[in-house]
Amino acid sequence: MRIFVVGYMLAGKSSFGRRLAKRLKYRFVDTDKLIEWTYKLSVDDIFEKYGEEVFRLLEKRILNQTLSMDNVVIATGGGLPCHDDNMNIIRQNGTSIYLKISPKAIISRNNDSHKTRPLLKNLKAEELEEFITNHLDSREKFYSQADFSFNALDLNLEEIVRIISFHSNIFF
């Protein structure tokens, strides 16, 4: 079984994915980390040197690599489900979980984070909320196709495991 965790940047996909994988005794894969390991460049460097279009092509390659994995929880990059036919690929090849988060919570987490986000780094503070609100809104149509949707600020791991077990007829 493959479980894909999707959602906007700073929703907590990697943190939640790691916890879920540990609980299920599954392997954990973060697509951004796999890109960095495979291509020996940070996501930020890829964006700066080659642009978003090249990064999205690399994401697609990495997504396709994950399809040969089993018993794995895969945290996707925030934009991965929103390009090409990636969300269809995710839905056809695993169970998907959308971690919903509000623009205000994203801004708060961004302010507390020491990590640079390529899509946010050149924005002034007053531009941030409008950008995130509009960007999240444009991606919602992809994220909302996930099999399950949970509030990123109120995640109950055991409840989520029970829900996935019930709907997939796989008991963990």
Binding residues for Mg(2+): 14
Q: Residue 61: which of 46, 48, 49, 71 has the closest Cα?
A: 46
Q: Residue 101: which of 146, 137, 74, 127 has the closest Cα?
A: 137
Q: What is the SS3 assignment for 102?
A: coil
- The conformational region for residue 169 under phi > 0 = left, psi -120 to 50 = alpha, else beta, is left
Which residues define the annotated binding site for substrate?
32, 56, 78, 139
Which residues define the annotated binding site?
10-15, 32, 56, 78, 117, 139
Strands (E) located in the chain: 2-6, 27-30, 72-75, 95-100, 148-151
CB atoms within 10 A of CB 161: 15
